[in-house]
Amino acid sequence: MTDARKTLPLTHLSEDERMFFQSALDFAKKEIGPLVTKMDESETMDPSIIRKMHELGFMGVEVPEKFGGAGSTFFNAILIIEALAQVDPSVSVLMDVQNTLVENAFLKWGSEHLKNKYLPQLTASKVGSYCLTEPNSGSDAFALRTRAWDEGSHYRLNGKKVFITNAKEADIFIVFANLNPDAGYKGITAFVVEKGMPGFSLGKKEVKLGIRASSTCELIFEDCKVPKENILGEIGKGYKIAIETLNEGRIGIAAQMLGLAEGAYSAALNYVKQREQFGKQLIEFQGVQFQIAQMATDIEAAKLMVYNAARLKDAGMDFVREAAMAKHFASDVAEQVSSLALELFGGYGFIKEFPAEKFYRDAKIGKIYEGTSNMQLQTIAKLCLNS
């Protein structure tokens, strides 16, 4: 009898998807792995990594070929995010924001002019950023205070954004501002802002606990002039764009957390097979075996949830509840698995020479960005109660 696990080493994937995932993982181990420590300590993303991801098509997975993209699926983008996170979640989130937020917003809401202008740049060499959060509007995203005015020949933006991922590397920014505060959240509009536009500048770069190679900066708009044609979607529909893209983005963060958990688990498993105490390998102790089994079980459950949400999205079916569940659960798993992995390394887990402490630091953000865990629970509860 044939062992199914030998013929299907990743049982949730087709053969093509398995090969796609493996190629992304091979790239991550070969090209990113040697740079992880340096990038973490210097808090910078190596430009060569971004260039190579563009060359491989990782920075435009769903974008149609006519715009220079790979013309692939959302699910395949999720696989790459997962694979990269096994090696460095910082690189993973850069690619995640590019695909699940920025390019998805252009593909769904952009005019033909904006698609033709910006998608070829994003797939070829440029990085995009998604700019919603402000000092006084985090989970209450629609309390944003960045203002926009119609000046006739252009729009004028004033305000500040904070905690903006990819800000240092990005050239193209999707910025949410209120064009009509009297209309409340229905005045929020999405604008495409380019690096170098008059009145736009980067503020301070945050020093973070984890994903340190991923830039997180504030953005400052002081009478920033934005061309009239750079409205993304319709005037006053920015809130709809924000909600719908973030629903998709949460699957991406769930995939990042899944990959992180897999990376921490793999490192811990290799270590306990090599480390000896009391004349035996650590893996020979039943207590350690139980911990490894629990980690593997939690990861498998998270994988099923992440893959299911991504499959639903590609099938054009409702996936909002499943996306929230996947992000909430995968973030929990990443935190728990990385914590246990660190403990299995013992004292070595607490020092930077070994990978456990970085996975542990990187995991915490999963419960915070693109909707906190409490916000995910609120979404899940609302949809369950109304079903």
User: Could you give the residue numbers annotated as active site?
Assistant: 370
Phi, psi of 155 (to 5 degrees): -105, 150
Rounded Cα distance between 61 and 54, Å, is 10
b/e code 144-173 from CB counts within 10 Å (16+ = b)? bebbbeeeeebbbbbbbbbbbbbbbbbbbb
Burial class of residue 64 (count of CB atoms within 10 Å of its CB; 0-12, 13-18, 19+): middle
Rounded Cα distance between 381 and 383, Å, is 6
Q: Residue 301 is which amino acid?
A: A
Asked if 333 and 299 count as a contact pair (C-beta separation under 8 A), the reply is yes
Asked if 221 and 146 count as a contact pair (C-beta separation under 8 A), the reply is yes
Both tokens of 145, joined, read 């205070």
Asked if 74 and 62 count as a contact pair (C-beta separation under 8 A), the reply is yes
Rounded Cα distance between 249 and 357, Å, is 26
Phi, psi of 111 (to 5 degrees): -70, 165
Q: Residue 245 is which amino acid?
A: T
Asked if 105 and 261 count as a contact pair (C-beta separation under 8 A), the reply is no
Element counts in the chain: helices (H) and strands (E): 13, 10
Rounded Cα distance between 58 and 32, Å, is 14
CA dihedral 113, 119, 124, 128 (to 10 degrees): 120
Rounded Cα distance between 43 and 210, Å, is 10
Reduce the DSSP state of residue 152 to 3 states and report it.
Answer: coil
User: Taking the CB of residue 124, how many other CB atoms lie within 10 A of it?
Assistant: 14
What residues does 174 pair with on adjacent strands?
130, 192
Asked if 222 and 160 count as a contact pair (C-beta separation under 8 A), the reply is no
Maximal C-alpha separation, the chain: 79
